Amino acid sequence: METTYNPSFEPRESFDNNPIALWRSAPLERSATFSTVFGAVSQAIQHTLRNELPPLHFSVPDRLSDPRRTLPILVYAASNPSPRYHGREFTYDVLNPRMMGGFWWTAAKSLPALLAPIYEDLLASGQPELARAYAPRRYRRILAAVRRRKELVDRILSAETSLVNDLINFSIAIRHARRPLAAHLRLMANWGSTLRRIYPGLDASGLALKLFRIATRTLAAAMPPDGDLPVAQAQTNLIPMPLRNAPKAPLEFPRLRNAA
């Protein structure tokens, strides 16, 4: 049985009021629950980025006029979060052909639906040439072009990996930290730096605190009732693997119907 990531989930009040206590009890890498719990947290982070980055990209006027810059972020938004949970492999490894094959395959399934409203709006605004660059029927060509120049997609996926690894390291460092707030501030600084460079011309550093809150809520939901047990004691307490195909939020983009 699979559980589904629910962004509206509210954790137990004690965890919500004291997230430091929760992160101090997060599973260590030697724990049998480590892959399951941090797999859920990683998926929540990846899912949130797929919903949040495109609206930030489109918040800058005339983004659609540059398909080379816009299509890679649409391909990313169309993809599913990485489904692999082996050790610390919670995100896509851009150097792993098998993992990236899965990325491109899932992107191909959802890309036409993301392109359709953009294409229709550009047509309605009297820009047929530009609309052609976003035509859903051309999704295979679009995917092939983005794949040939995959540096921008790789940049986002590498940032995902950095965010998740920083969070795991934070959960380790905070266990016995005398100044837990300082550890949290370091995490926010690292995340801010990563998010500031996640995509050319896009400063997503404002998402750092939101991502941490979502990660904390997901951790609270995924933690087994026994806490961080040794492998031998935790074998029968594993929770179901979290979302694989959580529904994507509707894509927000500039409305052009009243364009001059």
Q: What pLDDT, on a 0 to 100 scale, did the predictor assign at position 88? A: 72
The answer as to whether 258 is a domain residue is no
The answer as to whether 247 is a domain residue is no
Q: Count structural domains, the chain.
A: 1
Q: What pLDDT, on a 0 to 100 scale, did the predictor assign at position 85? A: 55
pTM for the structure as a whole: 0.82
Token pair for 65: 């006029």
Q: Which of 47, 35, 51, 33 is nearest to 4 (CA)?
A: 47
Q: Report how far residue 40's alpha carbon sits from residue 80's, in angstroms, rounded to the nearest whole number.
A: 14
Q: Report how far residue 75's alpha carbon sits from residue 99's, in angstroms, rounded to the nearest whole number.
A: 16
For residue 195, the enclosing domain spans: 13-223
The answer as to whether 209 is a domain residue is yes
Q: What pLDDT, on a 0 to 100 scale, did the predictor assign at position 223? A: 87
Q: What pLDDT, on a 0 to 100 scale, did the predictor assign at position 121? A: 95
Q: What pLDDT, on a 0 to 100 scale, did the predictor assign at position 54? A: 96
The answer as to whether 160 is a domain residue is yes
Q: What pLDDT, on a 0 to 100 scale, did the predictor assign at position 248? A: 56
The answer as to whether 142 is a domain residue is yes
The answer as to whether 257 is a domain residue is no
Q: Report how far residue 112's alpha carbon sits from residue 134's, in angstroms, rounded to the nearest whole number.
A: 9
The answer as to whether 101 is a domain residue is yes
The answer as to whether 232 is a domain residue is no
What parts of the chain have a pLDDT lower than 50? 1-16, 228-246, 255-260
